[in-house]
Structure 1
Amino acid sequence: MTFVTGDVVVREVGRPKVSWWQVLRVVLVLGWVACAGITWWSAPGESSAAQARADLTAGRLTSFEWGDRWESDGGYFNPFQSGLRSSGGPGPVLLWHTTDGRQHYATVDGGGAGTNTTLSSGPEAEALDAELRAYDDARGLPAALPLGAIQNGLFIAGSVLFLWALISAPDPVIGTKWFWFWLVTGVPLALGLFWWLARERPWSPRALGRETRLTGWIGLGLGFLSGVAVSLLVWGLDSLLGDALVPVPR
């Protein structure tokens, strides 16, 4: 459209329309990055009993628990998710949280935290437990950053947006909606989300259709196989780079 004002010719150029699908794609990626960052930051990292005492003295320790061994809560699908199992009493593994939202653990009174046997408490564990409880009773432990609540909120919001987009979007051309559902939810750390966002409609208008679309059973199988592969990769990187970069409890 052209307007004439005196000797000046002004041409109005139409602004490109905002694609809400593209905005949603950016939101999903940013949400994934935030969740991944919180997962890495708050994953238990190996430390020492001396560091636990230092955090307690400095007022950084917010909560603690004792356990016998680590057990994977996420299995193949989330190798970073581990829980501390206990048969009661302090030792041999101390897990504590600090005010910056991080988790640390230490093996007290020897080792054996990776075994499935029940281990009795040793003198150092008993002494450290007494110090922690005495401090808690006398002064109380400070509050921690609510990273767990933030992560759960991001996960719920991302899940709702993903399901809404999968149902509302045009029919996919590479795989069925069940294929993408199982792939995105089954691949560890939601890495299948990036394939869906990059290759499928409506995120990629140039997505080429297949004569036979990939089915939900294929997505389920790919999720399982990728779970095994990612778990092996995480454990390999942990052995190579250490807990500082790839924190995985042993």
Structure 2
Amino acid sequence: MNVVTVTEPVSVRRWRWSDAVRILLAVLWLVAAATTWWTTPRQVDFADAQAALADGQVTVFQWGDLWDGSEDLWFGDPQLTSSGSRGPLFAWRTPDHRVFWVETGEFHQSSASDPADGDYASAGAALLGHDLDTRGLGHRSGNLTPLHTLVAVLTIVLGLTFLVVLVNGAAPRRATRWYWFWIGLLVPYGIGLLFWLGRDRSAGAEQRASGFVGLGLGVAAMLFGGILMVGLNAVFGDRWVPLSP
């Protein structure tokens, strides 16, 4: 007696254009997030500012008195603003495009120049200004974060592509379009976009989360994300988890 074995053909998932789009979006998000992390201004001590000047690590600097924490869709772009005087904040960019800043008003030294001399806001600012002049760096005032232009362009590309695919593409399987809209918009740092890219590819679920659920989860993620970042910053410091000033 002959036994006939029937083997079912193995189904191979076909490559779709949407798969390429998802991979491209993930790569663009990674570039934007890494650039933001690298260029976020980090606060250091006054001695670090003096050491940077002495070691030739100041390619561009700015004086200011307030950080303006303007926000893009997902990634922040803090700008140092000034009311006219030099200081009390001093920020600089290193050759590898990292940005650091110091509060010069916390520095006290009786031998430092008079704050009024040269329109400096503090004795520490006057001392750093003197170092800039003596080292021939006084002409290097300029834009601290030129790479943020790249981040802004990537954010626009990511946001527009996300909306176009969400509205005109196939209906999401695990949640409604409104659910993913709120998740993508509200979850900090564009992490909601990654959830959408990875989670909604799976087989369909019996129940689809509604837009109200997405709105609630997005707001909760905003609140929890801020608390989490503060906690991680307290543990690991500005070097690994920088907070926007």
- Same fold? TM cut 0.5: yes
Given the alignment, which residue of 209, 221, 232 partners 1:237?
232
**Do the aligned partners of residues 38 and 220 (structure 1) sit closer, same or farther apart at CA in structure 2, a change above 3 Å counting?**
same
Rate the CA distance shift 1:92–1:145 in 2: closer, same or farther, 3 A: closer
The question of 1:224 aligning with 2:232 is answered no
Distance (Å, rounded) in 1 between the aligned partners of 2:62 and 2:68: 15
Q: Which of 24, 27, 36 pairs up with 2:33?
A: 36
Distance 1:86 1:141 in 2: 13
Distance 2:175 2:12 in 1: 34
Q: How does 1:20-169 map to 2 (within 5 A)?
A: 20-70=17-67, 72-74=69-71, 82-110=78-106, 121-132=121-132, 135-137=136-138, 140=140, 146-169=146-169
Q: Which residue of 2 aligns with 1:176?
A: 176
TM-score, normalised to structure 2, is 0.76
1:216-245 deviation line (CA, Å, top 9, x unaligned): x43333222211110000001101111111
Unaligned stretches of 5+ residues in structure 1 = 1-13, 112-119
Shift of 1:190: 0.9
Query: Tell me, which stretches of 5 or more residues in structure 2 are unaligned?
Result: 1-10, 108-119
Aligned residue for 1:61, secondary structure, equals coil
The answer as to whether partners of 1:66 and 1:92 remain within 8 angstroms in 2 is: yes
CA-based RMSD of the aligned residues comes to 3.3
For these two proteins, the number of residue pairs brought into alignment is: 223
TM-score (norm 1): 0.74
Cα distance in structure 2, aligned partners of 1:142 and 1:71: 16
Percent of aligned pairs with the same amino acid: 30
Q: Could you tell me how far apart the structure 2 residues matched to 1:36 and 1:64 are?
A: 24
Who is 2:113 aligned against?
none
The answer on whether the counterparts of 2:53 and 2:131 sit within 8 Å (CA) in structure 1 is no
Relative to structure 1, is the Cα distance of residues 71 and 240 closer, same or farther in structure 2, using a 3 angstrom cutoff? farther
Q: Measured at CA, do residues 213 and 51 of structure 1 come closer, stay the same or move farther in structure 2, by a change above 3 Å?
A: closer
Q: Kindly indicate whether the alpha-carbon contact (under 8 Å) linking 2:58 and 2:95 is maintained by their aligned counterparts in 1.
A: yes
Q: Alpha-carbon deviations, 1:119-159, whole Å to 9, x = none?
A: x8222212323443673456x57998842222222222222
